[in-house]
Structure formats: structure tokens, C-alpha cells
Chains A and B, each alone.
Chain A
Amino acid sequence: MRATNMKNSILKTRLLAAVVAAMLLTVSAFAAAPGITGPTFNLQAAPAYINQPDGQMIYSWGYGCNGAAGGFLPSAIAGASCGTMQVPGPTLIVTEGQTVTVNLQNNLPVPAGNTSILFPGFTVTPSGGVQGLLTQEAIHGGAVTYTFTASTPGTRSYYSGTQSDLQVEMGMYGVIIVLPKTPVAGTACTNGDLQASNASAQGAWGEANFTLSTSAYDNPNTCYDREYLFQFSEMDPNIHTQALLQVNAILACTAAVCPTLQVPTEPYHPAYFMINGRSMPDDMDPNYAPQYPHQPYNGDPHMHPGELVLLRIVGQGRWQHPFHEHGNHVRILGRDGNLIQSVSDTTSLAGPLLFTTTTTPGLAMDGIFYWTGKGLNWDAYGHNPASADPSAKLPCTPDGNGYNTTATSAINYYEWCQDHNKPLQSKPFGDVAANGPATLPDANILTNGAWYGGSPYLGPNATLRSTGCSAGAPAGSCGATGSTPPSGTIANSPSDEAGFAFMWHSHNEREITTNNIFPGGMMMMMLVDSREFVIDETN
């Protein structure tokens, strides 16, 4: 076995352990787009160590809160914190039209010199500090203030405008989200009462709403039900090591003339590829997890069929990364807070539909994703009218678009009705009907993945029935047909979750590694969950 594979298995073990630990802590999924509220933000720039799944602690600089944060959103997320420094910096959440004030205190070590923040896309009035190349800068121990109007809604990046090649690499970047002043909601949305209906379905299972708004822009085509923020960046650990050595050397220098900080940022050789400052699998741990005191934000998206999910995707490093969303396309709404509209009808969207959303340094995209299973050509819920299980015999009443939306409290809310009851498999498969087109092979020639739900069906009820393991099934029938309920799939339990897992990752595949170890880097698993599984983003 190769050394990399050895590392693989070690990492996998660790990954599974981490997942198990996470589950023990909270029994839930963790996500949303958390941040701090303004419109006045007291920030500081400070050093700290961030950690990576290969065990390395990386010396970094980042933005954090200078004193208590004004507030946290979504309010339902408990345990939110904003320390002296974090990577990425705090997500600043404001509302369109607000006057935003950012006070930045420079608490970087003396050798780091000045620092600043650029807010591209806004007309910024800086005050205080000293004149820098691109804006007013804060000297060590000093402060600077930036004031601007949150002119239009959308997601935008912010980052250091001082010695950016080094400071951005060290971690000095973040995101500002501007929420629309008059968000579109409910029946005013183009898709009619879908938002209300999705909210009703969430409510039926006791799910809270973790969105920051009801629409991404002041446009009825931008309504959404769930949202996630993903910031892409990479790190060359040699630069960080060199920065630390030089900072310490300069601080310890007692000579009359001490060297200045001269960290080479070329040749650039990144080894860490991160989403929200974390590498896989750390990105799938909770927001504000105590093991990452300086990397509070995660990347662990979950959704139910039919929910419109807003993705805020931001490039923060210096490379482009082709972010591939398995499962469906993404409709790009706008870039850097600029809604892309049709020339003939400004309500209609004109942004592209992408299965790979290329992140570009400094560029933010807002996009909408959904998953419904439309067109699979088999009943993804494994319904079987001949079953004894009531959940196997749910009706599917198509609305005008072919989906089951009337019974918002049903497990199969938003099922694609054209395939209702249509079998996949040629032979009976557990308690799932026969006469379909496909024959599943002997499970012995297959290897099960850690996120494999156990069957081609969505949701614990369907998965357990299809593997003969539902309550009341004859003894010994469990696993006798088709896929066995996989013992290794603890990241997506066949009995509790059994979601459809989709890998969302950089398709420059070299970047789904952590310092030469696969798996890692810019990767996460997105779970489409049946309604039975309650998505809880409170952590």
C-alpha cells in the first residue's frame, strides 16, 4: 500500500471519528451563512494560528471583533462568537441603504506594518490612520475608519489593501452581505406561493428558518428558502512559516538597525485549499466549533427537495477554482452585487446556468440551486402501493409543475409525481416494487461509501424498506436483498438520514487534497434530505 493510501486511511478514520463526534454533540446538520450585524463594525486585525486537518497549526493574520460584536445572525444560531481574529474575517451583514461604518484597529505584530480594508463595489470614505497606496491605513496600534453606503444588495468580498500579496495570503479577507431593503417574499415571488409552501413544510417538521432574508435582491426571481456562504482560498505554508520566523526575529532584534519584514510571496506553491478557512473534513464540522477557535465558519450544506438554496460563492485567494456542484446546475443571479437582468425585461434573469461555478479572486457570485429528482425515471422515495408500510403508499398529487406540493407535512412533499410508484429494479428489492429497468448487482462486488445512504432511495423509511430492514419486517430479511444497509455509512445513517449525498468540490482535483493528502482541501458533501430528517442549522 502506498504511503498516500496509508495517509488516506488514517485521514478517513479521523474524518469518520470527527463526523461521529459531531453527531454525538448535536445530532444535526450545520450550516447557514452566519455573520455579525452592523451597521457599525468594530474590527481589529490580529495574528493567531489556524489549524488544518493534517494537524498543522498555521500562523495567520486575520480580522476579528474589537470588543463585542453588535449582534449575530441568524439569531437562532447559539454559541456565536467573534474573537480577536478569524479566517475568513467576520461576515458583515447589513441592509441596503444603511450607512456602514467599519472601525479597524491594527493589532498585528509591529513588523507587519500597516493594514487596511478595501470594500470593492462601494464608495468608501476613509478617515483617520495614515495615507496608504489604495486607502487610509491603520498603523500598528492605531485605527482607521471606513464609511460607505450599502448601495445595492448582494454578496461582496472585503480584503486588505495593504501589502495585499502577503496580508491576503495570511488570511485577511472576509465577506459583506447586503440584504435587500424591500425583500420580495411569499406570493410576490415569481414562483407564486412556493416560499410559503416550503416554509409550511419546514414548520411541519419543526424546522427553524435560518435565512438572512427572503430574497437575495429586490427582484421576485431571487426568492430563496435556505442559504450558504462559501469562501475559497489557498495557502502556501512556506509563506506563513517565513512570516512567523521573520516577525519573531524582528521582535527579538536588539541591534541598532533591525531587518524589516521581507517575506517572498513568489514562487507560490500552495498546499492548503480551503472553503471558509477550513479544509475537508473540518469544513463539515459545526459553525463556531470549539476546535477551530479562529475558523468559525463551516461548509456543510443540507437541503430538502424543492427548496431554493441561495449560494454565496466568493473567491478570496489568488487562484481561480472551478467549484463543481454535483446534483444540479446553479443559476447565477448576480456578481459582486450586480443583478444580471434580461435586456428586454428587467425582472427576468440573464445570468448563466452553471454546474461548475468558477471562483475568481475578489469576485463574489450569488446563485440559486435546487434539487427535486425530476426526470430520474424512478420513484426516488421507493413507494410501493402493495407495501404494508403507510409511508410507502403516500399519494402524489401533481401541481401545475408536476410536483406534490399540496400536502406540505408529507414525507414526500415536493416529490416529482410523473415517476411516482415507478419501480427502478427488475426484481423485488426488500419492500420496493419490481418490474423496473435495472438490476442491481451483488453487493459483495461493491464498496460502500461513508455517505452512501444504503439504497437508490431517498430517506430512512425508503432505505430501510428497500433493504428489508423496516420495522415489522421478517427476522433475517434485513440486508438479504440488494444492497445491504452499509455498516460503514455513519456519515449518512441509513436509519436516520439516508439523504442523497453530493460532493461539492474544486474540479481542479489537485485542490481536494490537504498538503498532499487525499481526501481534503476544497471539498464537502451536500446532503439532500428527505423531509423526515430535520435539518437543524443551530450549530
Chain B
Amino acid sequence: MRKQLQVWLPILLVCFATVGASAQSFRIQCPTSTITHPSKLHNNDLEPAYAGPTTFGTDANGHFLVPTANVNGAIKCQQISGGDGYATMGDGTQTYMFSFGPLSGLHKIANGQPGTDSPSEFNKLYSDSSQPNPYLQPGDPATTNGAGDASYTVGNVGFDAAGNDTSSFTFDGAVGLAKNIPYLATIYDISEGVGVNRNRVTVVLNTQTPFGIGDSVRICGTGTLPCSGPYDGTWTVTAVNINNPFLTPNFAFQFTHPTAGLPDVNESPTATASSVPGVDGHVETRPMLDVGVMNGNIPAPLMAIDEDDEFFLTLSNVGMIMRPDLFEQHTVHFHGYPNASAFYDGVPDASVAINIGGSFTYYYLAPDAGTYFWHCHITPPEHLQMGMVGQIYVRPRQDRVAVGGGLYAALQQQQTDARTACKSSADILCSNPLPPSNTVLAVSTIQNGGTSGGYAYNDGDGSTYYDVEYPIQIHGFDPNFHFVGMTFNPEGFTDMKDKYFLLNGRSYPDTVTSGPMATQSVDGSMHYSQPLSAIINIPAGKKALLRISDLDVTEYQTLASLGIPMKVIGYNAKLLRDQAGNNLSYLTNSITLGGGESLDVILDTSVARPDGTAYAAGQVYYLYTPNLDHLSNDAENFGGLMTEVHICTSVTNGMCQ
């Protein structure tokens, strides 16, 4: 037997070494506890109420700072696919895209909400959730929601008119996540001791044991299959490095069995010791591809995080089915991230790019509050034009100040943490110095227990409060470029000319369709191609925050408000405030953005209209482009960059009541 082992051992070791080095390509990361957000101090599934700046001590070795109290923020995770897909233009044309799609938060994305999740939601297994289908279907969630049925009409799933969720599909966890067995080893010998040791089982593996004292170990195959042998079961390791008559001590470990007198099982062809299956980021490839392939969205999945969060964003490159000739990598560029690292900046030239079949988890500590956006940075004139653009915004710490708390005092408190302080004299790039002293108190926001509302920035005076918020992304598609992009021909960049002008991936009149728009892909299944409506519903007398970003790659775009003045409160993810603390917000009726810019606008219906009358439910206003040639859908001389603003009695889940 020894000889045989000598033959097997090197082979086994080689196999293990290979597995260890190459790991798996697709994988997910969403820890439940980190240095910055230790679970023992903090429930990382919730945004804690603001209680002041985090206090720090040092770690056990005295090497680095760890939080000791007032942990702010939480852990957030999201997974996206990089691949291709189809979208429907305002004239009915189906346009091919290189695109990102959701691989987590599928239900939320389909409902027009950010797909960003807390660890407990993200790490939930599909098999543990109650879904109509036992397995994820190609095209999900559109498939399960019936988007392929004959009765399906555009935008009829999601929230109904009353704001009730009508989705059949409610799963928001990470697609593909499955339990993993990190360690699996064959057993050379398993036996019990005698006398006082008669309940002590010694297991000698055919390889070095990966188990430590206290680890759970699952024994299987020591008798009748499956797992009904005398030793079979899940046990806790009591000792390691055991001297034994067979192999070196580091091949052996022990555990306690309640039954004494079990037979020695030597050289069983079936006996194995494994770790207990658990969630460790391992994914099954089939659901990843069933859901991820041809599932591109425009805009790419919406993301929203809170200041002080740690954000784990996994990009899984599922390949582009329509372009088998390409071996395109993809990346995520978090556009506007201050003091970025080159490593997670997503520029392939300056970092790493993710090959087909691979995943990469981007890691960010949430930057200062503001409206940012993200996009692929591979061959930008191509991948951005083809549709790989999305939105991300960061909500301010101020949202978490308890109702009735002083906003000025909260901002003042954060001046004591060097990371969040804004001293104009020391930091020329900080934008929210203390405003004039005031006694404005925090009101209800989603993050402090309310059902709606929030602040766009840490203003310290409530000046950026809004009741409802809408991300609006401006983009343009050149149908000729997209056609060439679907074929195998060289693309011309100087001739690029947008013919479709998009708000949240839709051109008018699709912009005013509620619910997700679906498009049939070449695989015959329907996919949610444009989940995000562009209707602006404002309760009469309330304020709407428009988080506007432009990722057009060819020209500047103007968006005008026909009726309600636009109050510009932020620009390029920074509060409009001068170094002395003066408010620099301004009123306008149009804004102009180049590709790669963002801006925050508040439409305020709490003030009187220019004629002195109040805004009232039922009124309709328009956002449209005065670049009149952009009010078209290719050959159709009607459509393009336009949407409607509805004044409502109230708004439930974005639906006008």
C-alpha cells in the first residue's frame, strides 16, 4: 500500500496545487465583517443611526486603526455581468449593445431601483428563496415575470398603478452563488482508540490536513453509500498533528464519536473528509450564464451606496455571444471617485482588465456624497457608445441624523474626523465647508426610518433636501455604429453620429412608460433591456432631486425644463458652495452637459409657479432638449431626448397617485 500511496501522493498534490493556484474564474465577494465594519460592533445589514464620528483604537497588534465605537455605514454588495444584449429604441428598432446586466438585485433592478444590497440579501441562495421556478431561467427575471407571454405589454410588470409590487420574481441575491466545499480529501485510515480513548477517532488523510481545531468536518463513505457508514456525519475537530502508524502527523486529525468500538476502516476507496458546505463566494457557472448572457441593460444596473459604506462590486465577464470573434475584456470605472487608486479605477491601461469567464471584485470605501456614474473603460469610444454606461450615487451621512437632530451640529462633529472634515484652508478640493450657523433640524429620510426623502449632500443646513429622487442618464446611440458593432467590420470613429437620444436608455415616448421594457434577444427569450423609466412623478408641493449624468460620447447635450425652474445644487458630485460657506446654487431652465459630467437639480413644487399659483396634482410638465435635432428617433421626426414631469397627489414606489 505504501508504494501505491507514493505514486498517488505526488499526483494528488499536483492536483491540489493546481486547484489552489488557479482557483475558479467566476466568483463573488461580499464579506459580512471587515476591519472597518466589524460585525461584533455593528449589524452590517443596516445603516446605523448617526451618533457622531467613528472613534478608533488600534488592532490587537497595535499596527493599524480599528473602530471602537460609532461605526458609520455598512457593507454593500452588487454583481453585474459584462456582455452583450439588445435594447428597443423609440421607433421600435432593436439595437445591439455591448452592455452590463444585473447579476444581483434582479428584482430591484427590474423595479427601477438600485440593485445594491446588504450582505444578508446578497449572499442569499436562490434555492433558499421562494420563487415560482426551482431554477433560474434564461432571461430572468423577465422570463419568470411572463415577459414572453402573448399577453405581455411593455412595462406591465413591476409596480402597478397603485404602487404595489406585481413581480412574480422576487429574488435579489447574487446569481450563481452556491455552497462550496473548499476542502475535500480522501481518507487513508479512520479508526477509534481503545480504553479511555475509545470514543476518540483518528483520521489519517492521504494528504496534509487543512483542518484546524474547532473546524467542522464532514466524513462520508466509510461504509454504505451515500454517507451511511459508521463514521459518517459532521464532527468537530479536537486535535491535529497526530502521531500515527501510517503517515506523518500533519496528515492526521481527531474528533470524538459518541459510539465506541467502531471498526477500523483502512484504504477505503470511498471515504472522504470534507469541510461543511458553505457560502464562500463560490458560484455555479450555469445560472451565471443562463441569466447573464444576452442580458444587457441600458443604462447599466443602478447602484446606490451610503457614505462610510464599504462597497464590493463584482464584475463577471460572461462574453459577447454575438461577437464570438472578440475576446473583449471589461472593467468598471467609478467615474469621479476622489483620490482613486489606479488599481480599482477600471482603466485597462493603468490596471487589470477582466477576461471572459472571469470575475473581479472592485472594492471602494464610499466617497463623499454625490451623483457619480460608472462605465466600462475598455476602448471607450466603442464600449461606451455600445451601451456600457450606468449610474451610481452616494447618499450623505446627513441622511442618518435622527429626526430632530441638528444638521449643523452633525456636520460640525464630522470636522473632528480628518477623513470627513472640510477645512477650506487646508483642503482646496473639499466642497462642503460649514455653512452659516443655523438651527435646521433633520427631517425624515429613508435612511433614518422614514419612507421617503433625503439630502443630496452633507449641507449642514438642509438646503439639499428632496422628497423624491430620480436618476436620469443622458446617452446617445449611433445606429450605424451599433450595426457595425454587431458585425465583423472595422468601426469608424470620426463618422460617429448619434441618431437616438436617450434618457435612461429610452427615447420618447418610451421615456414615459413605467416599468421595465423588455426586448427579445437572439436566443428567443425576452430580457429586461431598459428597466429604468424616465418619468418624473412629484407629489404636489414637494421637491424632486434629479441626479443627471451624461455619458454621450459624441456631443454636448442640453436638457431644458418646460415649466418648473431647475435649481442646480450640485455639479460633478460636489455641493455648490464656496470656500467661505456661501450657497452657490442657482436657478435655470436648462442645463448643458458634456460626456462625463453630472449635475444635481431640484425641481421644487413647494414654491409658487411664476404666475403665483400653486403646483397641483394632474399638471404635466416636460423635460426636453432644445437641441431640436435631438428630438428624434433616427428617421422619426418626433421623440428623442424628452420626458414628462407629473404633479401627483402622492407618489408610491415612484407611481403617481
By a beta-carbon cutoff of 8 Å, the part of chain A in contact with chain B is 1-4, 8, 190-192, 221, 269-271, 308, 320-322, 324, 326-331, 342-345, 348-350, 352-356, 358, 368-377, 379-380, 385, 398, 400-402, 418-424, 433, 435-439, 441-453, 455-456, 483, 492, 499-503, 505, 507-513, 515-519, 525, 528
Contact = CB atoms under 8 A, between A and B. Distances in A.
Contact of B363 (A350, A369, A424): A424
Given A355-B335, A419-B64, 20 more contacts: A8-B379, A322-B596, A324-B335, A342-B579, A344-B580, A345-B580, A349-B428, A373-B339, A418-B56, A438-B363, A441-B358, A449-B349, A453-B342, A455-B343, A501-B342, A502-B342, A503-B347, A508-B553, A509-B384, A525-B350
Interface string B568-588: 000111101011101010000
B381 A353 contact: no
28 contacts: A3-B490, A221-B424, A271-B494, A322-B556, A343-B582, A345-B579, A348-B579, A349-B424, A350-B579, A353-B429, A356-B596, A370-B428, A371-B339, A374-B419, A401-B421, A418-B65, A420-B65, A421-B64, A433-B63, A438-B312, A446-B354, A449-B348, A451-B342, A452-B351, A502-B342, A516-B490, A516-B493, A519-B379
Contacts of B380: 505, 509, 512
Contact of B578 (A342, A449, A525): A342
B385 A445 contact: no
Looking at B338, B349, B431, B489, the one whose CB has the most chain A CB atoms below 10 A away is: B349
A452 B554 contact: no
A401 B163 CA distance: 48
Given A348-B424, A368-B428, A502 B340 contact: yes
B142 to A, nearest CB: 29
A60 to B, nearest CB: 19
A320 B572 contact: no
A352 B426 contact: no
Q: Which 9 A-B pairs have the closest CB atoms?
A: A507-B596, A445-B358, A402-B418, A322-B594, A501-B350, A3-B490, A350-B578, A500-B342, A348-B579
Contacts of A3: 489-490
B65 A422 contact: yes
Interface stretch (B26-34, B78-86, B110-118, B266-274): B26-34
Q: Interface range on chain B: under 10, 10 to 19, 20 to 34, or 35 or more?
A: 35 or more
B572 A355 contact: yes
Nearest to B31: A437
A348 B580 contact: yes
A512 B381 contact: yes
A356 B578 contact: no
Contacts of B365: 375-377
Contacts of A453: 342
B350 A353 contact: no
A50 to B, nearest CB: 18
Contacts of B579: 221, 342, 345, 348-350
B597 interface: yes
B155 interface: no
Interface string B17-40: 000011101010101001110000
B277 to A, nearest CB: 19
Nearest to A237: B494
B426 A191 contact: yes
A356 B365 CA distance: 22
Contacts of B246: none
A533 to B, nearest CB: 14
B361 interface: yes
A418 B419 contact: yes
A385 B63 CA distance: 7
Contacts of B580: 342, 344-345, 348, 350
Contacts of B596: 322, 324, 355-356, 507-508
B352 A447 contact: yes
B45 to A, nearest CB: 16
Interface in B300-346: 310, 312, 325, 329, 333, 335-336, 338-345
A498 to B, nearest CB: 10
A327 to B, nearest CB: 5
B347 A502 contact: yes
Contacts of A326: 333, 340, 345, 347
B483 to A, nearest CB: 14
Nearest to B66: A422
Interface string B490-514: 1111101000000000000000000
A269 B494 CA distance: 7
B289 interface: no
B359 interface: yes
Contacts of B363: 424, 437-438
Nearest to B372: A355
A53 B571 CA distance: 35
Given A370-B428, A422-B65, A446 B23 contact: no
Nearest to A457: B343
Interface string B348-386: 111111110111110101010000000001011110110
B65 A2 contact: no
A2 B491 contact: yes
B569 to A, nearest CB: 12
Contacts of B47: none
B215 interface: no
A518 B61 CA distance: 50
A478 B354 CA distance: 22
A401 B427 contact: yes
Contact of B594 (A327, A455, A507): A507
Contacts of A421: 63-64
Contacts of A449: 347-353
Nearest to B63: A421
Given A344-B580, A418-B419, A510 B493 contact: yes
A437 B39 CA distance: 13
A353 B572 contact: yes
Interface in B493-542: 493-494, 496
B152 interface: no
Nearest to B314: A441
Given A348-B580, A510-B493, A450 B349 contact: yes
B494 A515 contact: yes
Contact of A358 (B31, B344, B385, B594): B594
B598 to A, nearest CB: 8
Contact of B494 (A369, A418, A510): A510
B13 to A, nearest CB: 16
Contacts of A350: 578-580, 582, 584
Contacts of B34: 436-437
B367 A373 contact: no
A510 B552 CA distance: 10
Contacts of A517: 493
B339 A452 contact: no
B496 A510 contact: yes
Contacts of B348: 447, 449
A439 B29 contact: yes
Interface in B385-424: 385, 418-419, 421, 423-424
A502 B380 CA distance: 14
Nearest to B317: A445
Contacts of B352: 443, 446-449, 452, 483
Contacts of B556: 320, 322, 508
A415 to B, nearest CB: 12
B494 A516 contact: yes
B404 to A, nearest CB: 30
Contacts of A221: 424, 428, 579
A403 B288 CA distance: 44
B595 interface: yes
Given A4-B490, A353-B429, A513-B493, A380 B418 contact: no
A442 B340 contact: no
Given A328-B339, A331-B428, A348-B580, A446 B358 contact: yes
A199 B81 CA distance: 47
Interface in B37-55: none
A417 B354 CA distance: 31
